Amino acid sequence: MTAIRNGVPWYDTDGEVVNAHGVGVVAHDGRFYLFGEFKTDDRNVFAGFSCYSSTELAGWTFEGLALPPQVDGLLGPDRVGERPKVLRSPVTGEFVLYAHADDLAYADPHIIVATSASVTGPYVIVGPLMFEGRALRRWDMGTFEDDDGTAYLLTHEGDIFRLSDDRLTIDEQVAAAVAPGGESPAMFRSGGAYWLLVSNKTSWERNDNLVLSAPSPSGPWTPRGLLAPEGTLTHNSQCSFVLRLADGRHIYLGDRWSFPRQASAATQVWLPLNVDGGVAALPEYLEAWTIDREETFRPVRTRTDVGFRASREGEHVEVAFTGDGVEVVGRSAPDCSYGLIEVLRDAPRDDVPPGEVIVLSQIVDWYSLVPQRGTRWVSPPLPAGDYRIRISATGERPEWRKKDGTRFGPTGSLVDVETIVTR
């Protein structure tokens, strides 16, 4: 059993970083299929939608790009592609993928519809999602499938549309503007109520996401406060999807974005959703957990205090360790930014001159608007042996702006390492 570890890059079964963001999950034939934005580390440009599969929501196998970059059209060159979600049509048996397609200025929003006979794809774009004879011009979107098989498309501001049974078009708009100012909508049903989660509009920055509830998807929708304790910025995440397990539990899937190095350093925040008290909530942050609730974490073997704080490019610390894996614990904060983590070992003795081999190297984000102490990186499994871990400041200080021009981003380029842990 592999754990779901929040806020650290995940490695797939080939040892590559899991590159899937703004995700949705579909359960099919005993496996979970994860669809997400396949990001790059430089430009915010569509690079495909990825698909991974797993039986336990951890230990993901890369299934390839479900929808690759297109030569032209709504997801052609210099376009943005976001928030892919997959539903299966109960009448045709086809899998249907919906996603937000836009230009790089977010001034040409569409929702694309693409279909595939097999869950992993390749999906072929059918066209833009139409409503009342015209392309629906919306951006952030999500999907929800009810127990009776009725499916809905959700958009920013809280518009809710019932989809046709073939899933290719919209039958009817059932709710309008129930969450003004809301983005990244996600929905689920529990305890006789429907629950809608939305974020506020702060671009890649995190904020305190909101909850609404209603007796039916058409409403009336009532605001129910914040999803997570105030000021935690939804445990430093933005809602993307809610997954219901076969036993009825619900799991919140959220993004901890990292602009511009989203491919390397954006991470997942997945938490059990609590709806016991009559309100949907994420009361606490868990760094690591498993869906079978078994405690399977290996005990800490060594813990080396490091106390490294550096901002200038190239400043670094090195710690030797013996084992088959290593973890880095530190503090994220508003004045922190990207660090480079490298695992090294000595080159074979007969190498002249004797040198070192970089076993792996990973960019990790130390930034968060709300400071948080915790695990920042966990290596993939390594062959047991003697290694060194080197952590360097990159000196980068990225910034980004939301549509009204507001600037976001770190106020410094600090990397703050507290301890190195082996298990």
Contact positions toward ligand GAL, by CB under 6 A? 22, 82-83, 140, 183-184, 201, 203-204, 402
- Distance of closest approach, residue 4 Cβ to ligand GAL, in angstroms: 22
Q: Are strands 385-393 and 338-346 parallel, antiparallel or unpaired?
A: antiparallel
- Distance of closest approach, residue 21 Cβ to ligand GAL, in angstroms: 9
Q: Compare residues 53 and 199 and give the one whose CB is closer to ligand GAL.
A: 199
Q: Compare residues 365 and 418 and give the one whose CB is closer to ligand GAL.
A: 365
- Distance of closest approach, residue 249 Cβ to ligand GAL, in angstroms: 26
- Distance of closest approach, residue 102 Cβ to ligand GAL, in angstroms: 8
The residues pairing with 196 across neighbouring beta strands, listed in sequence order, are 187, 212
H helical segments located in 181-289: 233-236, 262-265
- Distance of closest approach, residue 400 Cβ to ligand GAL, in angstroms: 7
Q: What angle do CA 272, 242, 23 make, to 5 degrees?
A: 110
- Distance of closest approach, residue 255 Cβ to ligand GAL, in angstroms: 8
Q: Compare residues 156 and 244 and give the one whose CB is closer to ligand GAL.
A: 156
Q: Identity (one letter) of the amino acid at 92? A: T
Max Cα-Cα span within the chain: 74
Q: Compare residues 82 and 327 and give the one whose CB is closer to ligand GAL.
A: 82
Q: Exposed (0-12), middle (13-18) or buried (19+): which is 240, by Cβ within 10 Å? A: buried
Q: Compare residues 22 and 339 and give the one whose CB is closer to ligand GAL.
A: 22
Q: Please tell me the distance from the alpha carbon of residue 195 to that of residue 187, in angstroms, as a whole number.
A: 5
Q: Please tell me the distance from the alpha carbon of residue 142 to that of residue 255, in angstroms, as a whole number.
A: 14
- Distance of closest approach, residue 3 Cβ to ligand GAL, in angstroms: 27
Q: Phi then psi for 185, rounded to 5 degrees?
A: -70, 145
Contacts of 247 (CB under 8 A, 6+ apart): none
Closest residue to ligand GAL using C-beta atoms: 203
Half-sphere exposure at residue 283, Cβ-oriented, CA atoms within 13 angstroms: 5
Q: Please tell me the distance from the alpha carbon of residue 348 to that of residue 171, in angstroms, as a whole number.
A: 66
Q: Compare residues 63 and 82 and give the one whose CB is closer to ligand GAL.
A: 82
DSSP state of 312: S
DSSP state of 120: T
Q: Compare residues 141 and 415 and give the one whose CB is closer to ligand GAL.
A: 141
- Distance of closest approach, residue 22 Cβ to ligand GAL, in angstroms: 6
Q: Identity (one letter) of the amino acid at 77? A: P
Q: Exposed (0-12), middle (13-18) or buried (19+): which is 20, by Cβ within 10 Å? A: buried
Q: Compare residues 27 and 370 and give the one whose CB is closer to ligand GAL.
A: 370
